[in-house]
Structure 1
Amino acid sequence: MPEQHTEPYLYKLEAILSRERLMTVVVVSSSDEKAFTYAENQLLRHTVEPPEIRSLGIVEKKPLGRDGVGYSIETLQFD
């Protein structure tokens, strides 16, 4: 049986790591399951030692089939 092609989505996930660190990860994937795997791989590549991931969740999911798809991510507040 041929594999069905699923249109890819742009996922925004948030990970809560040890020491109360919050990281936002953006990946392209054709399924929610793969998005979690890709996000975990991105976290491993980004950190020097493997992070302790306390939770990882999908915040937003958008189809890639149209121009201009993206996310605005608040990263820091200035006093």
Structure 2
Amino acid sequence: ETGSKKRTRPVRSKARRIAANVRERKRILDYNQAFNALRLALKHDLNGKRLSKIATLRRAINRISTLSMFLHSNP
């Protein structure tokens, strides 16, 4: 019967899964450090509150747009 076959995924070894988890934790750490660096570059204090990631990105976009307009208006 053609509809009764199940697809099976190869079983990953425990060591491969652990290695993948380590890589993912490092990726997330790097990602968060990049956001922290961007927050510092924006130099915006919300009375000790940290900007969310989306707010950080929006402020960065606005800052880039403002600087771009400034450069184009002042040759």
Higher relative contact order (CA 8 A, sep 6+): 1
TM-score normalised over the length of structure 2: 0.30
Higher strand share: 1
TM-score under structure 1 length normalisation: 0.28
Which protein is richer in helix relative to its size?
Answer: 2
Q: Which has the larger Rg?
A: 2
